Every structure is written in C-alpha cells, then in structure tokens.
C-alpha cells in the first residue's frame, strides 16, 4: 500500500480519457486507490471499486442507466452510491444503509478528473478550464514506470534534451547558448520563464516552428505541467501533460496539444507532429525506467542538485512535504547555458 502525503488526496488528477467510458465500467487506480468509472444517465460517476456487500470489485459488474449492478449478488448502486436494489428481498424490506463510496468527479477537456478526498481543491487547474473550445489537436495516454516527482521533473527539464533527444529537439552538435531563466510562484503552482532562448535546432522545430516570442513552463495543482510557446505571428501552442500516480513507481501521463491562431488540422498534427512527440516521449520513458530501476537497486539514495534543477525543490515541497508554495520559493533570474 502506497502512502502519500494526505494533502495530495485533496488535489484533482486525471483518471481516464472520457471517451473510454462507454457502456462498461472502467477500473482505474489513482494514488494506489482502486476506482471504478462509469457513465450513467446523470453523467460520469466515480466510486471506490468495491461492493460493500462482499467486497467484489464493482468494475466486474454491469452498468445500467441508473446504476451499477454488482457481478456477485446483483445489488445495484445509484449515482450517489446508495443501494437501490437487493435482488431477493421482498418489496417493502429495508435496503442496507451502507452504499458504495463515491468519489468527486469532473469531465473537462476530454478527460475524467477525480479528487479522492471529500473536501479539497474546488476544481481542476485553471490552465485546463481556459483552453479555447476546439483548440485541442490530440489527447493520448501513456503509462510510465517512474516516481511521480521524477516523471514531472523530466518533462519540465530542458537540460537533458542534448543528451536524451539528440537531433529531435536540438541538433546533436548544437552549441549551448546563454538563456535567462526565472521561476515565479503563481496562484496554482509556478511558472518558469525562459528568455533569449535561441530557436531550437532539432528537426522537430525546423519542420513546424516559426519565430517565438516566449517559452514558458507552467505547473499547476499537483500534477499538471504545460509548455507554452507563443509565436510572433500570434499563434500559441500548448503541450500539456497531466501526471497521475497509479502507485509509488508507476505514473499515468495524459498528453494534450492545443493550438490557437494557426492552421493546424487534426489530421496534420496527428500524422506529422505526433510521431515526433511520440519518439521524444519514448526516449524519456526509457530514461525514467532506468532511473526507477536503479532507485530500486540503491534504495534510499537521494539525488544531488545544482541551480539548473530549478523545479525539483518545489515539486518535492508539494509532493513530499504537502506544503503550499509561497513567494519565498521563487527563483530569481539567472543565466544558464541551454
């Protein structure tokens, strides 16, 4: 059983892609908790994946328009988790008071979000709510071996691109250039701002990019990270990754790409951009797998950081200390060589 800082259960995490929830219940694990997702007449419902009668997983059951029917004795639980039917009881018999445990759930940007604690953050991060309608060009789900903080850090870390992604993000022999970088605290997390970033030299950028005005990394809630490119021609590309710990060493990664103010039909993104991003993701996945494997071989060893590891302390503060970030966690502007 995995233990997480209690504050983490108050945050929202993506549990599934909404389209995957049809007529069958879907079993998912979030923060080590088995859940079942289903679509009822009233909308998407999330429950603990456990029948209160004899503990059989509700995900083995059947979805009816009004509730989920357990696979064992057929008890039916409605959207509020209450027991609505017990086959075999006479009409007028009292139904058991104990119901299935419901979990807070939202459908947003094509994804199903859950919050395990009954009370906590009112909604998923603002960065998701503010997307323009129809700007999403793709949405997919990956499953990586790796500890959540390591996985998030990987996405937010530009320094490994030379070594892990040679040629894709940067030319293999591209010289490093001075970049000004700073980290500011926001209402929901933090933002890392890169200035004077030279145009990236890899094939990905030569094919798809135009001159950039800014490059920012946003982090919000406990698991949402977004790289935002704003271009001189007014277009904006946002690649967002929502990280959801399944267990202590496995992480779901839900990736979206939103494009505004430029020609980018879905098929073109799907067939031209996506294969490159997929290759980059595979390279990261392999690196994280090596890291996780070696953490298991050297348990208890903590890493050493330099000021280049600009997000690590804040991620650990959120995930391991359960502390809200304050302005004291900001990092003033300095020059690094990217």
User: Taking contact as CB under 6 A, which single stretch among the options 49-57, 104-112, 178-186, 240-248 is the one that binds ligand FES?
Assistant: 49-57
Among 17, 27, 40, 56, binds ligand FES (CB under 6 A): 56
Using alpha carbons, select from 326, 157, 128 the residue that is nearest to residue 223. Answer: 128
The C-alpha atoms of residue 179 and residue 242 are separated, in whole angstroms, by 27
- Give the bridge partners for 288, in sequence order: none
| CB of residue 54 to ligand FES, shortest distance in Å | 4
Q: Is 286 in the site for ligand FES (CB under 6 A)?
A: no
Among 51, 116, 264, 311, binds ligand FES (CB under 6 A): 51
Using alpha carbons, select from 148, 213, 225 the residue that is nearest to residue 186. Answer: 225
Question: Could you tell which of ligand FES, Fe ion, none binds residue 284, using a CB distance below 5 to 8 A set by kind?
Answer: Fe ion
Q: Is 284 in the site for Fe ion (CB under 5 A)?
A: yes
Please work out the total of residues on this chain that contact Fe ion, with binding judged by CB under 5 A: 1
Instruction: CB nearer to ligand FES: give 24 or 73.
Output: 73
Kindly give the pairing relationship between strand 83-85 and strand 43-48. Answer: unpaired
Instruction: CB nearer to ligand FES: give 56 or 108.
Output: 56
User: Taking contact as CB under 5 A, which single stretch among the options 96-104, 127-135, 281-289, 325-333 is the one that binds Fe ion?
Assistant: 281-289
| CB of residue 210 to ligand FES, shortest distance in Å | 58
Q: Is 75 in the site for ligand FES (CB under 6 A)?
A: yes
User: Taking contact as CB under 5 A, which single stretch among the options 5-13, 52-60, 283-291, 305-313 is the one that binds Fe ion?
Assistant: 283-291
- Given a contact cutoff of 8 angstroms between Cβ atoms, the answer to whether 56 and 25 are in contact is no
Q: Is 150 in the site for Fe ion (CB under 5 A)?
A: no
| CB of residue 64 to ligand FES, shortest distance in Å | 14
Task: Tell me which long-range contacts 100-105 makes (C-beta under 8 A, separation of at least 24).
Answer: 100/47, 100/48, 100/50, 100/51, 100/52, 100/58, 100/68, 101/47, 101/48, 101/50, 101/52, 102/45, 102/46, 102/47, 103/35, 103/46, 103/47, 103/48, 104/46, 105/15, 105/37, 105/44, 105/45, 105/46
Instruction: CB nearer to ligand FES: give 74 or 110.
Output: 74
φ/ψ bin of 177: left (φ > 0), alpha (ψ from -120 to 50), beta (otherwise): beta
Q: Is 153 in the site for Fe ion (CB under 5 A)?
A: no
Q: Which residues have CB under 8 Å from 219's CB, separation 6+? A: 152, 156, 189, 190, 191, 192, 225, 226, 311, 314, 315
Instruction: CB nearer to Fe ion: give 126 or 157.
Output: 157
| CB of residue 120 to ligand FES, shortest distance in Å | 29
- Give the bridge partners for 47, in sequence order: 36, 102
Instruction: CB nearer to Fe ion: give 235 or 287.
Output: 287
The C-alpha atoms of residue 144 and residue 292 are separated, in whole angstroms, by 10
Q: Is 70 in the site for ligand FES (CB under 6 A)?
A: yes
By the criterion CB under 6 A, which residues form the site for ligand FES? 51, 53-54, 56, 70, 72-73, 75
By the criterion CB under 5 A, which residues form the site for Fe ion? 284
């Amino acid at each position: 059983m995995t233990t997480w800082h209690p504050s983490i259960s108050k945050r929202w995490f993506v549990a599934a892609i909404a389209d995957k929830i049809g007529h069958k219940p879907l079993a998912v694990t979030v923060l080590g908790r088995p859940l079942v997702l289903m679509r009822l007449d009233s909308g998407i419902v999330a429950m603990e994946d456990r029948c209160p009668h004899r503990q059989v997983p509700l995900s083995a059951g059947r979805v009816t328009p009004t509730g989920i029917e357990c696979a064992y004795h057929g008890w039916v639980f409605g959207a509020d988790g209450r027991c609505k039917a017990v086959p075999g009881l006479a009409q007028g018999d009292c139904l058991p008071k104990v119901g299935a445990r419901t979990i807070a759930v939202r459908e947003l940007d094509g994804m199903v979000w859950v919050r395990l604690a009954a009370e906590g953050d009112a909604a998923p991060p603002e960065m998701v709510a503010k997307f323009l309608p129809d700007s999403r060009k793709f949405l997919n789900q990956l499953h990586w071996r790796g500890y959540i903080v390591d996985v998030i850090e990987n996405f937010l870390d530009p320094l490994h691109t030379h070594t892990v992604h040679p040629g894709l993000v940067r030319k293999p022999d591209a010289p490093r250039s001075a970049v000004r970088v700073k980290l500011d605290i926001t209402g929901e997390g933090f933002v890392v701002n890169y200035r004077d970033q030279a145009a990236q030299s890899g094939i990905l950028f030569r094919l798809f990019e135009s001159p950039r005005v800014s490059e920012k990394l946003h982090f919000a809630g406990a698991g949402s990270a977004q790289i935002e490119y704003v271009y001189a021609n007014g277009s904006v590309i946002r690649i967002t990754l929502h990280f959801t710990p399944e267990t202590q060493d496995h992480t779901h990664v839900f990736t979206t790409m939103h494009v505004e103010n430029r020609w980018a039909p879905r098929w073109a993104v799907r067939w031209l951009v996506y294969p490159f991003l997929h290759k980059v993701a595979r390279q990261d996945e392999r690196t994280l797998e090596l890291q996780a494997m070696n953490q298991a071989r050297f348990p208890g060893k903590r890493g050493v950081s330099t000021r280049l590891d600009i997000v690590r302390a804040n991620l650990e503060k959120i995930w391991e200390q359960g502390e809200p970030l304050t302005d004291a966690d900001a990092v003033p502007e300095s020059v690094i060589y990217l």
